[in-house]
Amino acid sequence: MRAVRASQALRSLLTSPETEFLLEAHSGVSARIAEEAGFRGIWASGLAISAQCGVRDHNELSWTQVLEVVELMVDATSLPVLLDGDTGYGDFNNLRRLVRKLEQIGGAGVCIEDKCFPKTNSFIHGERQPLADVDEFCGKIKAGKDSQTDPDFCLIARVEALIAGWPLDEALRRAEAYRAAGADAILIHSKRADPLEVLAFAAAWKRRAPLVIVPTAYASTPTPVFRRAGIALVVWANALIRASVAGMQRVAGRIHASESLLDVESDIAKLGEIFRLQGADELIEAERRYAPSARARTHALILAATRGSGLEAVTEDRPKVMLTVAGRPLLARLCEAFKGEGVHDIHVVAGYRAEALDASGVRVLENREHASCGELRSLACGMDALGDDAVVLYGDLLFRPYILRDLLRVASGDFVIVVDSAPLPAHGNRNDLAYCSAPDDRALYQTGVELRRVSRESTWQGRHPDGRWIGMLRVRGPGIDLLRQTVAALERREDTARAGMPELLNALVEQGAAVRVLYVHGHWLDVNDLADLERANAFAGGSPAEGSAA
Ligand code: SPV
Ligand code: MG
């Protein structure tokens, strides 16, 4: 609900002792832009609305088509919208329907001009356009006023006599008749390059009713001149449609010539700005409130930028994640695992041999600094893909489906990592030893265990590790922001700029974040060397699992 009704707001602009301004808008987004610029009201220009539809300002749009645009504008802004209603789209009866419909959709008022339907724009042979009969036009004004139910709805009568080449007297005669018929204000239009006839009209009019002007032809007139003349409302009637046309022409030409977006990217609005103008954030908020399950869609981010030392013999032409295990690439297996759990929003951060990454149904992000930076850089590249809830994992993992399922469905907390409590195998890397708040007690269904440290040290604070982090992290809710900030902070520090995921987990713990532990007992493996690849083939092929995949 608007605090002040739109019609009231428009009326107070008309009756304010100051000169006020309306800006043309022709769409929801242009209306919102006008509001953000500081305008207090909108001119729903017939010229601009028809132009944005690619048709002439000649009543080629039906009045209901015009109203559809007006309704979108009303919805998009809290400002009063004054419709440039041409001649009222017909006789008095058409105007009555227009007024009622406008009220229904929240329009604040209508301006009608004393020409004949179909009219054409005043700047196209304005002198040749016949004026309406004064009595008939007065009848139309009365009909319009009689059919409004909101007392503040404004009906403005536009005098086209000067445009059509009639003298000042005729313009004054008409204006007075329209005022007497009930018009709330008079719009006096002129196509002269100077404001003289409008000023002469204003002087003779003596503020009998608020005066509205459209200084398109006499745009060089300083605005104080209008203030001094007592003009109530100045309408900047076509600036936004002209701005958008000029912008679109420039950009379309450059894209066509360069066959690229690169030249224009810095001159056009960022997508984020479009989303902001559309109110995308509000929808995210609303989804949280009304459809939390829809919002809680989990994303997957696969870190797959490295070649993998120990696998050089088989990664000459492809990244590790494209290695084939039991007939299918590791990446395809991971995607299948995620999709099987309903996680369809999958991003993979590529680096080494990114071009060889062949993945349908996943989006590829690139870490161009993969050779010189650590995993943090890859994670930073994928940060925007995390949404509100994500599983981040290494691309060389193979695991039984229940591990991901439990991580998605059972584990709770802003951060959850999967830790394998099975005895450490003789083979495999030991960078990710996990020290936790409690060891895995397989007789209990533990949910409250937290990570204390991930380390390659085989003891920490005199204790043995509780297991091995398998390279799978779930992060969600407020955890996403903390993750983002922590990655940024680590990247800023010289000693941690090239760090990996273990340093990140430790930094989170050191800041007091609760990193929950989901214990598993085997049933996974990672591929670090050729022997692992062998094991992976057996694991994926269904042979009795070895090592940590026991
Ligand atoms: C419009 O903006 O459509 C107007 C003003 O009616 S003018 O183009 O000057 O006629
Ligand atoms: Mg118009």
What pLDDT does 340 receive? 86
Which ligand 1 atom sits nearest the alpha carbon of residue 111? 6
Strands (DSSP E) contained in 258-406 are 299-304, 324-325, 328-329, 345-350, 363-366, 389-394, 397-399
Which ligand 1 atom sits nearest the alpha carbon of residue 216? 9
Closest by CA to 388, choosing from 290, 471, 295, is: 295
- Whether residue 517 contacts residue 445, with contact meaning beta carbons closer than 8 Å, is answered with no
Q: Which residue, by CA, sits nearest to atom 5 of ligand 1?
A: 237
Backbone angles phi, psi at 441, to 5 degrees: -110, 105
Measured CA to CA, the distance from residue 86 to residue 544 in angstroms comes to 81
Q: Which residue, by CA, sits nearest to atom 10 of ligand 1?
A: 122
Largest CA distance in the chain: 104
- 30 Cα to the center of ligand 1, angstroms: 17
Q: Please state the separation of Cα 501 from the chain's center in Å.
A: 31
Measured CA to CA, the distance from residue 224 to residue 247 in angstroms comes to 30
- 464 Cα to the center of ligand 2, angstroms: 81
Strand pairing partners for 283? Answer: none
> Which amino acids are annotated catalytic?
57
Ligand having the closest approach to the CA of 189: 1
What pLDDT does 210 receive? 98
Query: Is the C-beta atom of 496 inside 6 A of ligand 1?
Result: no
What pLDDT does 481 receive? 94
Q: How many residues does the chain have?
A: 550
Query: Is the C-beta atom of 47 inside 6 A of ligand 1?
Result: yes
What pLDDT does 1 receive? 44
Query: Is the C-beta atom of 99 inside 6 A of ligand 1?
Result: no
Find all residues with CB under 8 Å of 251, minimum gap 6, and list them: 264, 267, 268
Burial 181-210 (b: 16+ CB within 10 A, else e): bebbbbbbbbbeeebebbbbbbeebeeebb
Find all residues with CB under 8 Å of 23, minimum gap 6, and list them: 34, 37, 39, 41, 42, 43, 236, 239, 240
The helix-helix angle for 28-37 and 63-76 (nearest 10°) equals 40
Measured CA to CA, the distance from residue 362 to residue 144 in angstroms comes to 59
Q: What angle do CA 31, 155, 135 make, to 5 degrees?
A: 140
| Residues with pLDDT less than 70, the chain | 1-3, 292-296, 427-429, 443-446, 542-550
Query: Is the C-beta atom of 216 inside 6 A of ligand 1?
Result: yes
What pLDDT does 488 receive? 92
Which ligand 1 atom sits nearest the alpha carbon of residue 158? 6
What pLDDT does 293 receive? 65
Rg from Cα positions in the chain: 34
What pLDDT does 305 receive? 86
Backbone angles phi, psi at 246, to 5 degrees: -60, -45
Helix and strand tally (H, E) in the chain?
19, 21
Structure token pair of residue 234: 């100045």
Measured CA to CA, the distance from residue 377 to residue 360 in angstroms comes to 24
- 160 Cα to the center of ligand 2, angstroms: 11
Query: Is the C-beta atom of 30 inside 6 A of ligand 1?
Result: no
Measured CA to CA, the distance from residue 61 to residue 526 in angstroms comes to 64
Q: Which DSSP state fits 154?
A: E
Ligand 1 mutation pick, 52, 84, 242, max ligand atoms within 8 A of CB: 84
Query: Is the C-beta atom of 215 inside 6 A of ligand 1?
Result: no
pLDDT tens string 232-256: 999 999 999 999 999 999 999 999 9
Distance between start and end Cα atoms, the chain: 63
Find all residues with CB under 8 Å of 295, minimum gap 6, and list them: 284, 287, 288, 388
- 83 Cα to the center of ligand 2, angstroms: 9
